[in-house]
Structure 1
Amino acid sequence: MASFFQKRDPWGHSLSLWVVVFMIFITPVLFGVLREIRQENNVENWLPPNDPQSKVLSWHRHSFGIEDRVLLSWEGSSLTDLRASRLKTLLLGTPDEDGIYRGGSPYIQNVVTPQDAIQKMVENKIEPAEAQERMKGVLLGTGALKIQLTAAGRKRQDQTIQELITKAKSELGIVLTVKPAFKEWVEIVDESNPQAEVVETPANDDEEQVDFKALVAAIPSHDFQVTWPRMQPDSKLTDQIKQLALSLKRPTILPDSQSEKSEQNSKSATTHPALVEDCFFAVGTPIAVAIELSDTGDADHAAAVAAVKSAAFKAGIPEAGLHMGGRPVAGAALNRMVKESSWNTAYPAWQFHKRSVTLFSGLIGIALAFLMLRSVRLSCLVLLVSYYTTFVAVSVVPLTGGTMNMVLVVMPTLLTVLTLSGSIHVANYWKHAAHVDMKNAVAQAVEMARAPCMMASLTTAIGLASLMTSPLAPVRDFGLYASIGCLISLLMVLYGLPSLLQLWPAKPPKESEVDTRHWQKFGRVLSRHQVMVSMGCLVIFAASCYGFKWFRTETKVIKYFPDSSRVIQDYLFLEENLSGITPVDTVICFDETAQKNMNFVERVELVRKIQQKIAEHPEISGSVSLADFSPVTEPPPEDASTAKKLMYNRRALITKKRVFKSLTPDSEDSETETNTPHSATAKSFVHIADDSIDLEQESANGPREVTVKKGDEMWRITAQVAIMTDLNYGHLTRDLNQVTQSVLRDHAGTTHLVTGTIPLFLRTQQAVLESLIKSFGLAFAVIAVVMMILLRSPTAGLITMLPNLMPIGVVFGLISWMKMPVDIGTMITASVALGIAVDGTLHLLTWFKIGIEEGKTKSEAVAAALGHCGPAMWQTSAAVGISLAMLYPAELLLVSRFGILMCALIAAALLADIIFLPALLAGPLGSLIVTSLRKEQEAAAAKAPLLQEGKATKPHLPQAIKRTQSEKTLET
């Protein structure tokens, strides 16, 4: 039967022509589809809605109306800095007669300044200094460590600073950065800046204004400030630096001759006066502004962040000193860096390797393909098919309503790799066939490539599809679209490339291009030393796998940015000088029984007690709750007079009434403005459950069931936690649970939940590990079954999987040895590498079986198989591995790690396929395959009809595994 490439249509045209016409026809359509592609990198949407932690977070946000926020600060800011109120006015606008804000940004819903919070507390009878202290680590920072010098120290201030820097470096290994002493902000009108605006902030004459100048003036005088990486005021390192500074001394200058005589009678002639008087942190500088995004801003983080930056510039905040943090900021930066990895106009055209890391990687692949295939036309066709496959596969994403994310961004590179691998194998088959019969070379090459390429693509697709078992949405999307792309790749390798080759054939190869004697020689060497080679590979495999003892995962999006990036520098400034970026919320629930047992003021004080214990945790920079906006109220003693008890109960009722009025949407007295750090109405901190719900949360003793009933009163405590540290979020969540439970255990009818971004991160880390194990295990099981069926032997199928497991075990084992965490981008490479390793394995197994069927010994079959597949495997691995290594300089670490890890996996897969697998084939694995083939031939011979001479016919080798005459000649 004629093959596809030998058939003609009714008009006499080759069917290859119609394949190429179809490829050309759909190209403009897919270009239009690609224009609609969107990005989505919201980590909080990774988990499915029915996940317990995701369900808790969704309930929490529905209850308290929590939205995305941006934390903004700038250097030199303080409570007297008018730019904070100007920024608020620019973002929100000004209220009209009806109290509706006009002229603000559509991306912003609310802005909270520390002045707002302190003002609100003072109105509730809290002293200004106490209010300022309550905002510490939330919207007020302590800034750098302030150094106050003695008189002796001021005389030699430069030398003192240099001595402090030198000693810190030599004794503590810390590099100190010196900053000038804090000075109160003074407005200087810059007439050279035409965009700067003078913004008048409306004042409320009914409110008693806080004297913020007095608060700032209370900061003790000092001579300079010092800071260092990952600075934390309450850390052990900070205490060591303080002690080091206080220990600085110098000898006194020798007195003159007259006074020297009198000094000789003194106790000591050479005292060592101290240079540093005091070291301290002071609350009040810098300050931060919390900006809540609207629905419009949440839909477009990049535009919202740009609007905030523009308003800050107009308010007089210099861009160089501006620092922003929060999920919208990181998300916008991540999307921008993903785009810049493809094309970054910030670099000039002559620095192309920086302008587009991915395109530069592709160009390197093109150059290597030319070098390996030794044919310009053949290389062009191979690369055209590879990139066209990627183009079609990526178009499937917007075509099906999907979005690109930080995981899918590596899919184009992966599909290019897979298609290039298959195409180079077909190109090599074509070379061997064209050396003998140019006319039928395409059909012959496709027949030889069909079986191994189909098996390799299908097994790779299975490995990728196994990722769809992950609970993480980006991983599932990657598994779906990459497996579809793998099938598209198979069609392009078996039909697209051969069609192009048939219409525009390359020149027949030279004799030297199909000379594989050195590969055959290498195969015979491996066969002679198969025991030593196999044992050596197994030892390396086992030693590397021991590293899994230190295996750990990482899902913080901020960790995908390099240390030099602006977003990292901003996060470090905020966390070192002001507060943690990531919030973690503890929700205290009071049921009907608890509400009867405790009046409202008692519930406030219970929440305050829990909050104070939470704030004592060393990783918590600060916390805030509704209790912060009311003064401390002690219950009257049991022997108090009836009048005092009645007064106390009346105060509790008034407080409750005032709070619950603000919770009622239709109340005329409800607050319309937000004045606290986190949407300052009581709605942000207290909520009455409008429905019953059963929730589940992990604890130290396993899952804990929490039932919230309709009418339960829920109080929210928000704590700020650093995200730039190596803090174990599991330990933090456990500590918060224990602290809260230690207080609530004595109060019937109370329970709690810990939720927010941190528990979500913890659950996502667990999901990454689950995904890695489940998807890889499923892929391994399915591919192992395929191998068992292919080799007709369960034992042989399992042994064959060893070379396929070796690249993953060695590379991931070494990563774990080096204590490097596995992120979501790194995780997907395991299943991908398994599919790539199987590709070379199947090609080698196919030709080994051909050699055995032709009567060769195991050693001869190994040599022949390596001679046939070795060049293609080497060319593919070199072209793909080196080009992927070119992704390493990418600024986005997700792309950089993927490139270098895939390069390592491809190199390991090549070594496993050309060293470990041939050694196994020359040993026990080969014997199992020989036995299986003999049984198969005997069964076929028993069923075959007898010839006239009475002899059984010889089993006929299919066309796909016949060797060309040129190969036989070269072997001889």
Structure 2
Amino acid sequence: MASFFEKRDPWGHSLSLWVVVLMIFVTPLLFGVLREIRQENNVENWLPEDDPQSKVLSWHRNSFGIEDRLLLSWDGSSLSDLRANRLKQVLLGTPDEENIRRGGSPYIQEVFTPQDAIQKMVDYHIEPDEAQERLKGVLVGTGMLKVQLTEAGRKRQQQTIQELISKAKQELGVDLTVKPAFKEWVDIVDESQGMQPEENAPDDDEDQVDFQALVAAIPAHDFQLIWPRMQPGTELTEQIKGLALSLKRPGIIPGTSAAEKPGGNDTSESQPVLVKDCFFAVGTPIAIAVELSDTGDADHAAAVAAVKKAAVEAGIPEDSLHLGGRPVAGAALNRMVKESSWNTAYPIWQFHRRSVTLFSGLIGIALAFLMLKSMRLACLVLLVSYYTTFVAVSIVPLTGGTMNMVLVVMPTLLTVLTLSGSIHVANYWKHAAHVDMKTAVTKAVEMARAPCVMASLTTAIGLASLLTSPLSPVRDFGLYSSIGCVISLLMVLYGLPSLLQLWPAKPPKASEIDVKHWHTFGRILSRHQMLVSVTCLIIFVVSCYGFKWFRTETKVIRYFPDSSRVIQDYLFLEENLSGITPVDTVICFDEAAQKNMNFVERVELVRQIEHKIAEHPEISGSISLADFRPVSEPLPPDASTFQKLRNAKRVNETERRVKESLEDGTVKSFLYVADKTVEMEQETDYGTRSVVVEKGDELWRITAQVAIMSDLDYGVLTSELNQATQSVLRDHAGTTHLVTGTIPLFLRTQQAVLESLIKSFGLAFAVIAIVMMILLRSTLAGLITMLPNLMPIGVIFGLLSWMRISVDIGTMITASVALGIAVDGTLHLLTWFKIGIREGKTKSEAVAAALGHCGPAMWQTSAAVGISLAMLYPAELLLVSRFGVLMCALITAALLADIIFLPALLAGPLGSLIVSSLKKERELAESVPLLQDGKETKPHLSHAIKRSQSERSLET
């Protein structure tokens, strides 16, 4: 039967022409589709809607009306800073006569300032100082460590600072940074713009808070100190305080003159103390919480840009502005993904920084030219590789999908896989073209078909196994990448051969296909197969031992370099003000509990739990509705009837007023009365706990702020918050609680990452192992063949674990990718080894011949792809940088496993199993005679002779 490439259409044209025409025809259509591609990197949408933690978070946000928020602060901000109110007005606009806001940003729903919160607390008869303290670590910070010098310390201030920095480095290993003393902001009126100063002083209203008085209460000091991951109250902070307070002026050396004495003319032989006090003072800096509208939530980049523009209009310099929160990280992530393709911040002569992805591609092109030693052949191979990627990526917007931080590496992966198959076909073509140019394409496709089909299908299976992941970005990656593998196979077996048939390259010279050194290498491996195999197994086992320290990481902020603006902003907020990430504890009072405890008693119980939560060292601050109510003392046991009645009336009136105010933003976000029955599940240390919220239950929300930049184990934190809450609620029947928010979601996502890695890789391994068993007709041979395929993953991921490097979602997907790449080389080598055995070669000769056929293609592919992927290392987005370096390491490990470990196994026990399997297959075929032309014949003989002649001609 004629090959596809030998057939002609009714007009006499080769079918290859129509393949190329189809490729050209769809190109402009797909360009139009690619223009519609969108990015979506919302971590909270990774888990499926039916995931227990997602359901709890969704219910929680719908109940309390919580929208996406970002935190905003700036250098030198304080409670007396009028720019806070100006910024609020710019963002929200100004109410007109009908109380309808005019102006403002469509991206902003609400703005919460600490001044508003403190004023509301004062309206409920809470002292301003106490109100300020309640907001500490939430919207009001303590800032840096303030240092107050003595008179002696001021005389030698610079020497004191240098001594303190030096001692902190030597004794504590801490790098201290010195900042000027806090100075209250002074409003500067710009008369040219008609700006009028705003008054923040108290008016005739007795309850109006005097914020300038609060800030003026901050004690005078000489300078401030800050250090990485600074937190008040920690052991390190106390050590630094003690070190500063212990500083003394050097003593007097007896017998020296006054001029020679330290301290000039001071003749005292005592050692005066240099530091009078070290303290943190609440009141500066402050943070503003900005709640995004639906429009802002749909476009985080535009919302963040609108906030920055409004801040500048309010008089806040952009350089001193600090933003934090999920919208900020999401917008920065999308921007850096784009900048990895083209970053105009770098000049064109720094092309390796301006576009790391394009630079990586150019390096791959240059290496392909170098390896294939043919300009036309290299161009065709690269054209097919990039065209495959172009078509596969176009499928994403075509099916309504979006790009994300995981899917962004798919183009690189498909380029790698297509380049690998194309270089194998190109090498087969060079061997065939050296014999006969007319049949070169047909022969090359015949020889490549079986290993390429098996390699692509097994790789597609490995990628499709990611569909078992509960994480949507991983599932998308598995789906689109497996489809891309099928497209890649079609391009390798039909696209490249069609191009070669229409525009053939020049036949290679004999020197270009000389593989004697590969034959020599194969014979050396065969002679030392036992030593090589044992050495590889030892490396594999030792590396895998590192998995005992295997850890996962899902914080998006970890994808940014330390020098990036978003990291610096996060550090400022967490070291000076509050944690970025909220964790919410919801206290539920059922009908019975509401009857047993009156409203004020419930307020005090919530306050007690909040204080318990705030005691946790990783909690910067917490807030609940109880903070907006004064502390109520319980009635004494001997209270009179009149006192009880008056108290009951006061409690009922308080409850009525609060619940009538449920539509008010402050109250609604902290108190909710359930309008329907909901059953939810939550993971605890003791398994899954079922929580049922009945209609009419009263729900109180406590929000605590936690640092995202620390190495805190969120699992431990969640467990400790559960224990702290339960220690209070266990004595109150009819109460229960839920811990929810971003932190439990992060924890569940971490678990899902680990589950995905294990399940998808396990499934891919099982399916590929079964394929190998069927292919080799031996269960044991199939399992042994998987060792070289597992080695790259075991060694590289094991070493990562040894080095205590956490596996993020981008790193995770490389395991299935590496398995597919390793299988590709394995199948090509096995195919040619079996051909050698069928021709009557010994195991050593078959190994040498197989390496001669496959070694050049595997080496060329690995070098071109590995080196080009390593060029992604300078990418500022660590997700891209790590992916490039890790893939380079995995490809290198896969190459070594395929050209060293696998040949050694084939020269040893694996080869013996394959020889035995082929011998049984031949004996079985010989024992089944068939009638042909009336005569009994053995069909395999003529077929084997023809195949042997064809393969020998190619090898020659």
The answer to whether the 8 Å contact 1:85/1:201 transfers is no
Deviation of residue 643 (structure 1)?
2.1
Unaligned 5+ residue runs, structure 1? 261-267, 666-670, 675-679
**Partner residue of 2:76?**
76
Quote the sequence identity (%): 80
Counterpart CA distance in 1 for 2:213 and 2:198 is 22
Change (3 A) 1:699 1:149: same
2:933 is equivalent to residue 956 of structure 1: no
**Partner residue of 1:423?**
422
Q: Structure 1: which amino acid aligns with 2:811?
A: T
**Partner residue of 2:13?**
13
**Partner residue of 1:866?**
851
Change (3 A) 1:764 1:879: same
Deviation of residue 957 (structure 1)?
3.4
Counterpart CA distance in 2 for 1:826 and 1:223 is 48
**Partner residue of 1:590?**
589
**Partner residue of 2:758?**
773
Matches within 5 A, 1:481-630: 481-630=480-629
Partner residue of 1:731 out of 710, 716, 723:
716
For residue 178 of structure 2, give the secondary structure of its aligned residue in structure 1: strand
Counterpart CA distance in 2 for 1:58 and 1:822 is 27
The answer to whether the 8 Å contact 1:689/1:710 transfers is yes
Counterpart CA distance in 2 for 1:703 and 1:926 is 50
**Partner residue of 1:47?**
47
Matches within 5 A, 1:791-802: 791-802=776-787
**Partner residue of 1:294?**
293
**Partner residue of 2:129?**
129
Counterpart CA distance in 2 for 1:296 and 1:960 is 66
Matches within 5 A, 1:774-813: 774-813=759-798
For residue 36 of structure 2, give the secondary structure of its aligned residue in structure 1: coil
Counterpart CA distance in 2 for 1:127 and 1:726 is 37
**Partner residue of 2:808?**
823
Unaligned 5+ residue runs, structure 2? 260-266
Q: What do the CA deviations read for 1:415-438 (whole angstroms, capped 9, x no partner)?
A: 000000000000000000000100
Matches within 5 A, 1:95-244: 95-189=95-189, 208-244=207-243
The answer to whether the 8 Å contact 1:198/1:315 transfers is no
Matches within 5 A, 1:218-617: 218-251=217-250, 270-617=269-616
Change (3 A) 1:255 1:131: farther
Q: Structure 2: which amino acid aligns with 1:425?
A: H
The answer to whether the 8 Å contact 1:86/1:201 transfers is no
Counterpart CA distance in 2 for 1:946 and 1:827 is 56
Deviation of residue 235 (structure 1)?
1.1
2:641 is equivalent to residue 656 of structure 1: no
Question: Bigger CA drift: 89-98 or 28-37?
Answer: 89-98
Change (3 A) 1:340 1:198: farther
Counterpart CA distance in 2 for 1:80 and 1:749 is 44
For residue 741 of structure 1, give the secondary structure of its aligned residue in structure 2: helix
Q: Structure 1: which amino acid aligns with 2:128?
A: P
Deviation of residue 964 (structure 1)?
4.9
The answer to whether the 8 Å contact 1:520/1:863 transfers is yes
Counterpart CA distance in 1 for 2:674 and 2:268 is 76
Deviation of residue 958 (structure 1)?
9.0
Deviation of residue 398 (structure 1)?
0.3
**Partner residue of 1:90?**
90
Q: Structure 1: which amino acid aligns with 2:855?
A: G
Question: Bigger CA drift: 12-21 or 959-968?
Answer: 959-968
The answer to whether the 8 Å contact 1:621/1:719 transfers is yes
The answer to whether the 8 Å contact 2:189/2:195 transfers is no
Q: Structure 2: which amino acid aligns with 1:853?
A: R
The answer to whether the 8 Å contact 1:533/1:915 transfers is yes
Deviation of residue 98 (structure 1)?
2.6
Deviation of residue 251 (structure 1)?
3.3
Q: Structure 1: which amino acid aligns with 2:531?
A: M
Counterpart CA distance in 2 for 1:819 and 1:255 is 55
Deviation of residue 758 (structure 1)?
0.1
Q: What do the CA deviations read for 1:173-201 (whole angstroms, capped 9, x no partner)?
A: 11111111111111234689x8x976969
Q: Structure 1: which amino acid aligns with 2:943?
A: H
Deviation of residue 944 (structure 1)?
3.4
For residue 587 of structure 1, give the secondary structure of its aligned residue in structure 2: strand
Change (3 A) 1:9 1:200: farther
For residue 233 of structure 1, give the secondary structure of its aligned residue in structure 2: coil
The answer to whether the 8 Å contact 2:16/2:501 transfers is yes
Deviation of residue 209 (structure 1)?
1.6
Q: What do the CA deviations read for 1:496-552 (whole angstroms, capped 9, x no partner)?
A: 111111111100000011110100110011111111111111000000000000000
For residue 943 of structure 2, give the secondary structure of its aligned residue in structure 1: coil
2:820 is equivalent to residue 835 of structure 1: yes
Counterpart CA distance in 1 for 2:379 and 2:116 is 65
TM-score normalised to structure 1 length? 0.95
2:880 is equivalent to residue 900 of structure 1: no
What is the total number of aligned residue pairs between the two structures? Answer: 946
Change (3 A) 1:406 1:204: farther
Question: Bigger CA drift: 597-606 or 953-962?
Answer: 953-962
Q: Structure 1: which amino acid aligns with 2:391?
A: V
**Partner residue of 2:689?**
704
Counterpart CA distance in 2 for 1:50 and 1:197 is 53
The answer to whether the 8 Å contact 1:415/1:489 transfers is yes
Change (3 A) 1:566 1:961: farther
Deviation of residue 234 (structure 1)?
1.3
Counterpart CA distance in 1 for 2:478 and 2:499 is 30
Deviation of residue 640 (structure 1)?
1.5
The answer to whether the 8 Å contact 2:432/2:954 transfers is no
The answer to whether the 8 Å contact 1:825/1:898 transfers is yes
Q: Structure 2: which amino acid aligns with 1:940?
A: A
Counterpart CA distance in 1 for 2:947 and 2:488 is 20
Q: Structure 1: which amino acid aligns with 2:756?
A: S
Deviation of residue 966 (structure 1)?
5.6
For residue 571 of structure 1, give the secondary structure of its aligned residue in structure 2: helix
Counterpart CA distance in 2 for 1:968 and 1:51 is 57
Change (3 A) 1:968 1:656: closer
Change (3 A) 1:781 1:955: farther
Question: Bigger CA drift: 311-320 or 940-949?
Answer: 940-949
Q: What do the CA deviations read for 1:593-620 (whole angstroms, capped 9, x no partner)?
A: 0000000000000000000010000000
Deviation of residue 945 (structure 1)?
3.8
Q: What do the CA deviations read for 1:781-807 (whole angstroms, capped 9, x no partner)?
A: 000000011001111111100000000
The answer to whether the 8 Å contact 1:806/1:909 transfers is yes
Q: What do the CA deviations read for 1:127-150 (whole angstroms, capped 9, x no partner)?
A: 000000000000000000000000
**Partner residue of 2:642?**
643
